[in-house]
Amino acid sequence: MQSLELKIPPPAVAVFFVLLMWGISLFAPPWDVLALARISVALAIAAVGVAFSVLGVIGLRRAKTTVNPTKPAASSSLVSSGVYSLTRNPMYLGLLFVLVSWAVFLSSPWALLGPLLFATYIGRFQIAPEERVLSGLFGAAYPAYKARVRRWL
């Protein structure tokens, strides 16, 4: 399955799961939740997700290193400050929050499979290969960073 490693940009993977979750919600029984509460919670969760993603991009841009998730070998520096001191993968975490918010918005408990499957896919085909590349690029500094900062939160 190495053929999928670092091949599909994570936002495209997220869009796939958005569509899958929407399809599931068409056939699964919905939660009985007031629309205002459901939408308010979904917007709050999405805002947290967008914040993580934006702060991740800003951190990489400030360090003048690549933001291209399919080319981790192009990384010129190990960013460990800002949001990267809370999570090693703020942009993927942001996408995960957005998917959770989408499940809440859809009012579908079965749609929560989408974020779970997204995290599983991203962990295997994006994060694990990235970590191998970054370990090679940054030597002992990368395992030390991994020991200090969690993958997700």
Tens of pLDDT along 58-117?
999 999 999 999 999 999 999 999 999 999 999 999 999 999 999 999 999 999 999 999
What is the domain range of residue 17? 10-23+34-148
Q: How confident is the model at residue 26 (pLDDT cuts 50, 70, 90)?
A: very high
Any domain includes 3: no
pLDDT given at position 127: 98
Any domain includes 93: yes
Of 115, 96, 123, 92, give the one whose Cα is nearest residue 20. 115
pLDDT given at position 2: 79
Any domain includes 4: no
Any domain includes 153: no
pLDDT given at position 87: 98
CB 2 within 8 A of CB 128: no
* CA separation for the pair 51, 45 (Å, rounded): 10
Any domain includes 132: yes
* CA separation for the pair 32, 72 (Å, rounded): 43
Any domain includes 51: yes
pTM value? 0.96
Domain count, the chain: 1
* CA separation for the pair 114, 24 (Å, rounded): 9
**pLDDT tens digit sequence for 135-148:** 999 999 999 999 99
Inform me whether the pLDDT recorded for 51 exceeds 90: yes
pLDDT given at position 147: 98
Any domain includes 82: yes
Q: How far apart are the first and last CA of the chain?
A: 27
Any domain includes 75: yes
φ and ψ at residue 69, rounded to 5 degrees = -70, -15
